[in-house]
Amino acid sequence: MSSLASRRTHDITPEAFLRRVRRLYGEVRADIRRALEAAGNDPKSLPKELWKEIEAKERRVFALLLIGFGMASMNNWFDWHEEQDPGGMDRDGADKQFTLLADRRATWAARTVNRTTRKKLIHRMKTYEPGESMRSVIQDVIPDSRIVTATRTEMQAAQGLGPEAIRRESRRIYKKRTRVHSVLMLGACEHCLVCPLFHRVDMKFVREFFPSAMPIHPNCCCRQVLVFGLKKEVLAEGLMIPNPDRREIIRAMAKQGFKVPQYRRRS
């Protein structure tokens, strides 16, 4: 596998990220409009291939953007690891993890966005009046606000790919002796009831409740950061705090209206 280092020059700015996602959804809107017209405006009889093609297109664009936007953070965390543990990690190994994570995230994002689009389209067409402009119908289904939210979410996700790649690679190399742990760092933006409970908590625990972390919800500005040391050391230093009570998290999630995962009893 070629090193990602060669792609370092393709750093993507937040503006470029948003521009590219807007362009993508300009195309997606047109694709759906054309297909809908060909299907006699029946959203349920749109061919499966259409959604597959759209999803594949989204996946490709998101993967490139995630890699381009997440690269700076990846470089920083790799350098951080070099300082803590000189020569302890191979760049190619870390890059492999990074690309894998970006692809996985892009697949997830494309699937999630698409599912919402299909649902919204079917819902919107229920109130469709003959003569209504199809352009404005599609605009209702994919408004700019959705594009902005998706962009913000994926930019957040991109920032988390680097630290997660480093954590995984360390885990792969050192197994249980790994000294790289990731914790959630509370952001400065308006908080929900849940995020503050996760401040400095092990991301492994956070994932029990939010499997697709990070971000754990739209517009969440919390970050995933790495701490270095044996688990008991980082706990003693307060770099990580012990896991909070599960029931407290579940109560807060329910209050906030987040989908609460099936409670798994631990033996």
Q: Minimum distance from CB of 147 to Zn ion (Å)? A: 21
Phi-psi region of 254 (alpha: psi -120 to 50; beta: other; left: phi over 0): alpha
**In terms of CB distance, is 117 or 156 closer to Zn ion?**
156
**In terms of CB distance, is 134 or 193 closer to Zn ion?**
193
Q: Minimum distance from CB of 23 to Zn ion (Å)? A: 29
Residues 190 to 219 in contact with Zn ion, rule: CB under 5 A: 192, 195
Q: Who's near 214: CB < 8 A, 6+ residues apart? A: 156, 157, 159, 160, 184, 203, 220, 222, 223, 224
**Any bridge partners for residue 223, and if so which?**
185
Alpha helices in the chain (DSSP H): 14-38, 48-84, 91-125, 134-141, 144-174, 203-209, 231-236, 246-256
**In terms of CB distance, is 138 or 192 closer to Zn ion?**
192
**In terms of CB distance, is 94 or 192 closer to Zn ion?**
192
Q: Minimum distance from CB of 222 to Zn ion (Å)? A: 3
**In terms of CB distance, is 117 or 182 closer to Zn ion?**
182
Pick the piece of the chain touching Zn ion (CB under 5 A) from 47-55, 187-195, 205-213, 259-267.
187-195
Residue 87, classed as helix, strand or coil, is coil
In single-letter form, the type of residue at position 79 comes to: D
**Any bridge partners for residue 202, and if so which?**
183
Pick the piece of the chain touching Zn ion (CB under 5 A) from 7-15, 126-134, 168-176, 189-197.
189-197
Q: Is 74 in the site for Zn ion (CB under 5 A)?
A: no
DSSP-assigned states of every residue in 1-28: ---GGGGGGG---HHHHHHHHHHHHHHH
Q: Minimum distance from CB of 212 to Zn ion (Å)? A: 14
- Count of residues in contact with Zn ion, rule CB under 5 A: 4
Count CB atoms within 10 A of the CB of residue 79: 10
CA distances, 70 to each of 43, 120, 129, 212 (Å): 36, 30, 44, 17
Pick the piece of the chain touching Zn ion (CB under 5 A) from 66-74, 89-97, 132-140, 222-230.
222-230
Q: Is 220 in the site for Zn ion (CB under 5 A)?
A: yes
Q: Minimum distance from CB of 91 to Zn ion (Å)? A: 30
Residue 59, classed as helix, strand or coil, is helix
Contacting Zn ion (CB under 5 A), which of 222, 226, 227, 249?
Answer: 222
**In terms of CB distance, is 24 or 192 closer to Zn ion?**
192
Q: Minimum distance from CB of 145 to Zn ion (Å)? A: 19
**In terms of CB distance, is 142 or 192 closer to Zn ion?**
192
Residues near Zn ion, by CB under 5 A: 192, 195, 220, 222
